[in-house]
């Protein structure tokens, strides 16, 4: 080793030992005043290099590993999730807005107004009518002659049940309790169908033709009522009620067309043939005798006319 380097190292060691001894003997104030300046960066690097392996410094222990940078695919997935969440939020807000609008319809509509009261009376009227029709249809089905008409009445019965439930939804949509009001018109129409059953012969096409007319009278009353209710609901801005009523109106119009098709395709024609057969069966022997006498009288008159003509043309 070089002599100069050895001498410098020895001096440095002596100075370090002296400083350490002074610090141990001095008090806190003296230590604060006499503390030597921090070693240079070079010395710090040396000191760090001297630290034994496996010993972590305070700074190193506190440090957190950096997250790996996100790939473009991950970024795109995150963006799609954000957009999806935003879209769901918008849909929910829109749904809440629609529900709020429906709930506010009744509050915006004056229940004390005469038009609203008339609308409610008509709604209660058709609610009663549908229930009354529901009771009458099984009897009409049972007494019908053809299987086609029986099935039509059965389908109408099932449809009427759904229409009653739909009317109850209409009441609910405007915050009203379902209530029926006696309908004299439908009572009279149903009574007429009962009289038809009594007045027509069982098992005939004539009965079916008459039952179809009675059923269509019911349909036409319902069509007129539901058509008016739809118009009133739209005027009063009760749009949910209007949609429900329009659905029933469409069903009633279709039922009326179906009954017309049944009547025109077979029943009316077959009923007319029954009338001809009845006329032949009811033609008694007395009717034939009377007809023979009429023919004899016609022959006698014809002979007399011929004699008169002969007299007129007799030569002079």
Contact status, residue 148 vs residue 208, Cβ threshold 8 Å: no
Q: In Å, how far are 97, 155, 158, 202, 292 from 162, measured between CA atoms? A: 29, 11, 7, 31, 63
Q: In the predicted model, is pLDDT for residue 268 greater than 80? A: yes
Check if the beta carbon of residue 246 is closer than 8 Å to that of residue 132. no
d(CA 96, CA 108): 18
User: Cα–chain-centroid distance for residue 269?
Assistant: 41
Please give the Cα distance from 28 to 239 (Å, whole number). Answer: 88
Tally Cβ neighbours within 10 Å of residue 204: 15
Which candidate, 203, 207, 215, places its Cα nearest to that of 260? 215
Considering only residues 40 and 222, tell me which one the structure prediction assigns the higher pLDDT: 222
- For residue 131, count CB atoms less than 10 angstroms from its CB and return exposed for 0-12, middle for 13-18, buried for 19 or more: middle
Least Cα distance to 218 among 246, 192, 238 occurs for 192
Residue 158 has pLDDT above 90, yes or no: yes
Between CA 110 and CA 236 the distance in angstroms is 9
Rounded to an integer, the average pLDDT of 252-281 is: 86
CATH fold of 111-271, please? Ferritin (1.20.1260)
How far the first Cα of the chain sits from its last, in Å, is 196
Of 229, 207, 269, 203, residue with least CA distance to 123 = 229
pLDDT digits (tens, 9 = 90+) for 226-245: 999 999 999 999 999 999 99
pLDDT digits (tens, 9 = 90+) for 47-95: 444 444 444 444 444 455 555 555 565 556 666 666 666 666 666 655 5
The contacts of residue 225 (CB under 8 Å, 6+ apart) are 122, 125, 126, 129
Please state whether the predicted TM-score (pTM) of the whole model is above 0.75: no
CA 90, 92, 93, 94 torsion-angle sign:
positive
- Mean pLDDT, residues 13-34 taken together: 55
- The rounded distance, in Å, linking the Cα atoms of 170 and 243 is 9
Residues whose CB is less than 8 angstroms from the CB of residue 199 and which lie 6 or more positions away in sequence, other chains included: 210
CA 154, CA 160: separation in Å to the nearest integer? Answer: 10
CB 126 within 8 A of CB 163: no
């Amino acid at each position: 080793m070089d002599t100069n380097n050895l001498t410098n190292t020895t001096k440095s060691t002596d100075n370090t030992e002296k400083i350490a001894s002074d610090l141990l003997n001095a008090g806190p104030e003296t230590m604060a005043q006499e503390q030597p300046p921090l070693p240079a960066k070079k010395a710090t690097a040396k000191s760090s290099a001297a630290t034994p392996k496996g010993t972590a410094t305070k700074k190193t222990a506190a440090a957190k590993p950096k997250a790996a940078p996100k790939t473009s695919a991950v970024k795109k997935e995150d963006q799609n999730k954000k957009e999806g969440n935003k879209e769901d939020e918008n849909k929910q807000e829109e749904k809440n807005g629609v529900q709020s609008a429906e709930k506010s319809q009744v509050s915006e509509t004056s229940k004390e107004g005469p038009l609203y009261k008339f609308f409610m009376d008509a709604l209660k009227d058709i609610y009663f009518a549908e229930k009354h029709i529901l009771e009458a249809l099984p009897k009409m089905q049972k007494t019908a002659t053809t299987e086609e008409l029986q099935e039509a009445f059965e389908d109408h019965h099932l449809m009427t049940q759904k229409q009653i439930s739909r009317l109850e939804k209409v009441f609910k949509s405007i915050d009203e309790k379902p209530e029926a009001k006696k309908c004299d018109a439908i009572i009279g129409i149903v009574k007429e169908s009962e009289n038809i059953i009594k007045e027509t012969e069982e098992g005939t096409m004539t009965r079916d033709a008459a039952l179809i007319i009675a059923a269509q009278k019911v349909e036409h009353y319902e069509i007129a009522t539901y058509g008016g209710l739809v118009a009133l609901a739209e005027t009063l801005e009760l749009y949910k009620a209007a949609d429900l009523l329009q659905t029933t109106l469409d069903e009633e119009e279709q039922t009326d067309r179906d009954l017309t098709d049944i009547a025109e395709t077979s029943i009316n024609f077959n009923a007319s043939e029954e009338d001809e057969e009845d006329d032949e069966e009811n033609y008694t022997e007395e009717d034939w005798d009377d007809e023979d006498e009429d023919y004899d009288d016609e022959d006698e008159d014809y002979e007399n006319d011929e004699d008169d003509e002969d007299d007129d043309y007799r030569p002079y």
